[in-house]
Amino acid sequence: MRIIKKYSNRRLYDTSTSTYVNFDQLAALVRAGEEVKVLDVQSGEDITRATLLQVVLESQGAAALFPPGLLHRIIRFSAAGPGQAVFLQQVGMGLELLDVQLTRLERQMGWFKADVPPPAPGPAAPPPAEDEPPAAEEGGRPPPRPAAEAELDALRERLAALEGRLRGGR
């Protein structure tokens, strides 16, 4: 794993090559299969997530990835309020699930560097079962697993009840 240090002047320093790197070079490292960890020089804090998000938004043109409605919601729910925790948890869970699914696809298709470990899913999104993926239905989608569907239905009901309580102020 490469350690990148971020200085207060926003410069990024790659400790393994003893050179400064920019966002495009950092993106190239990640595309080449390198795992990076970005540390704030002053505080020692791990700022990998924030830095990689900057790389995605500033140098990869991924701002188009986020629909304006979602950006409005993120800003709206960034203020402390009853819906903030639920909203952030749901968005985080969705993104973690996407990450796990993409990792599995990369492994199945052989699109990953062999020595790079898969990302560790957070507690909110358990990894998919390691069994053989089900055969695809018409339309290219795998058939739903009964246990997963029941769990999704239960989660949808809980979410609807929470939303109802939030709207009703109870």
92-114, pLDDT tens digit by residue?
A: 888 889 888 988 888 888 776 55
Q: The pTM is what?
A: 0.53
Average pLDDT of the residues in 80-103 = 81
Residues 83 and 164 in one domain: yes
Q: Is the pLDDT of residue 33 over 80?
A: yes
Query: What tens digit of pLDDT does each residue of 53-76 get?
Result: 888 887 666 777 778 887 787 777
| Domain membership of residue 15 as a residue range | 2-64
Instruction: Using the 3D structure, point to which of 23, 40, 64 is the last residue of a domain.
Output: 64
> Which residue has better confidence, 162 or 146?
162
Residues 81 and 124 in one domain: yes
3-state secondary structure 79-122: CCCCCHHHHHHHHHHHHHHHHHHHHHHHHHHCCCCCCCCCCCCC
Residues 34 and 100 in one domain: no
Instruction: Using the 3D structure, point to which of 45, 64, 83 is the last residue of a domain.
Output: 64
Residues 91 and 159 in one domain: yes
Average pLDDT value over all residues in the chain: 77
The domain that holds 14 is classified in CATH as: 3.40.1170
